[in-house]
Structure 1
């Protein structure tokens, strides 16, 4: 385990959505290409997929379904931003998803400042997105919050300061969040390169080693299970 991963693991009481929801009300969810329930028709229809998530939460008596780090998914086959003739298919998820209701409060994982934000409005993209900048041993690192509501970025400014646990925004619906059931895509990024308001949350197999090193498992920080 790297020094940075050890740093993440030793931090306590970190949440990124509605802090009053106990981890006892969370359940893991498998959205991989191995899940037989996720047929092509379901994955292509945001409304049907939202019903699937709601039913899953109800059956498990949970309020939040989480998972997806380093998970191979068929969820991205519907969008050209993940599949093209001139690049390898990107289908491995390198953030952590938290699936719950539209409008749920999203909170800052750590003290930080707004590095950038954007409305990434292509099908399958993040929709409204915020990236916070943090420091570890005088080195910058970043947390990304994707699939927010438009209101979350409407009055935001570069450099705005947020304290750990402070409300950052709310979850958006399929109309604005890239065509997904409401959820938060949360990702830790060591090196943001030249990206602004956006960073890959899904990668190809041939680049997986780089992205797993640059984007460590968010559950090291959240400690959900």
Structure 2
């Protein structure tokens, strides 16, 4: 009998996916919903302006990491054809958790597992360098995706390579290598990779939300950032 993934995620303890020395009390939420960013009159397409906005948010809140964004409807993606073309509905609902902190920050394996796949997703607004790990707990196999990494993060990687929980697997990338965003980790949990390798949608359209909510549960079930 397969356990429920949500239950398995909630049972895991002391999970960190970036710099383990930073305590969760030094994290602050960040609202990047369309409603909020439209009010701010903020140019989200300029990575330098965006990074200054993040840095300011962190210093105002005396925090080291800004986080949030699961199931957030955003305008961030409008600059890129990756998220909208004539055939598809606009994909603007974020289905991972973002952790905003400086480029070069260490990225850690959430849990024991192995490297499923990795690649550089180079389109504007895409993930840039990406690593996907495969985990099996209580006979349940699922995946964690780490996006917006540095190019060096792909060096020496091999499919099937064993990783241990808390091991450094990458560092955060800087724009434009990271998809041209202010530096952050996109962290996502995926039940079924649907045959994909090195990439998986991190944003979906309104029509797809039921499927993706089930296939990509809230990463905070695992991280438990208060």
For the superposition of Structure 1 and Structure 2, which TM-score range results when normalised by the shorter chain?
Answer: over 0.9
Aligned pairs, number: 223
Unmatched runs of 5 consecutive residues or more in structure 1: none
Describe how 1:184-195 pairs up with structure 2 within 5 A: 184-195=185-196
Which residue matches 1:10?
11
TM-score (norm 1): 0.97
CA distance in 1, matches of 2:60, 2:17: 24
Contact 2:5 2:140 in 1 (8 A): no
Runs of 4+ in 1 over 3 A off after TM superposition: 36-39
Which residue matches 2:199?
198
Describe how 1:69-80 pairs up with structure 2 within 5 A: 69-80=70-81
Which residue matches 1:51?
52
**Aligned-partner SS, 2:158:** coil
Which residue matches 1:144?
145
CA distance in 2, matches of 1:10, 1:163: 17
CA distance in 2, matches of 1:37, 1:113: 43
Describe how 1:107-186 pairs up with structure 2 within 5 A: 107-186=108-187
1:55-88 CA deviation, whole Å, 9 max, x = no partner? 1111110000000000000000000000111110
CA distance in 1, matches of 2:26, 2:8: 26
The Cα RMSD (Å) is: 1.1
Deviates more, 1:136-145 or 1:119-128: 136-145
Contact 2:33 2:73 in 1 (8 A): yes
* Shift, 1:37, TM fit: 4.7
Deviates more, 1:158-167 or 1:28-37: 28-37
